[in-house]
Amino acid sequence: MGVGILSGTKVVVGDNDTKSQLKERGFGEEDGKQFFISLIEACYLVEGEKLDVMKADKKVSFEELLKVGSKHEEEFYNKFLVFRDLRSRGLLVKTGLKFGTDFRIYDRGTKDVGEKHSKQLVHVVPEEYTCSFPEMARALRLAKNVNKDMIYAIVDEEGDVTYYLVDRLRL
């Protein structure tokens, strides 16, 4: 099991073996000389007992990581549930921040985001979420402008996830 160091909203991984294992499984990003994973990725790996996260020589628990994530990001736990569900389906999941959404997902078997473009954007919302048609149209228009499908992941009170593909129909 590898080790990462909690640093703000990211977990830095310094060990070369751990880095290569994580890269091979589609986790993390390199930023210059540092390799880091997101808090959601760290939660997923800690929950699956694939990584230990440390802060000041103390092991950080899964629950503590969730608290850190929830302080920095709205609906963090719901996003984690969706991330975990998508990964369990064999999909490569990366941040969708530059597209104004929560995640972008790649086909099964994709290891490196450089080898293919993502095909879907995922927006995570709680069951009680409401939005206007113009808001949904903007999200859909953005997705279509970058040749992607827009998926809404609805998380209910029990933590179950339902996916809705939103598309437009031309008559």
Tell me which residues are annotated as active site: 106, 117, 148
* 29 in Cβ contact with 36 (< 8 Å): yes
The secondary structure of 129-146 as a DSSP string is ----HHHHHHHHHHHHHT
The burial of 170, by beta-carbon neighbours within 10 Å (0-12 exposed, 13-18 middle, 19 or more buried), is given as exposed
* 95 in Cβ contact with 117 (< 8 Å): no
* 110 in Cβ contact with 26 (< 8 Å): yes
Task: Write out the H or E segment, with its range, that includes residue 103.
Answer: strand 103-106
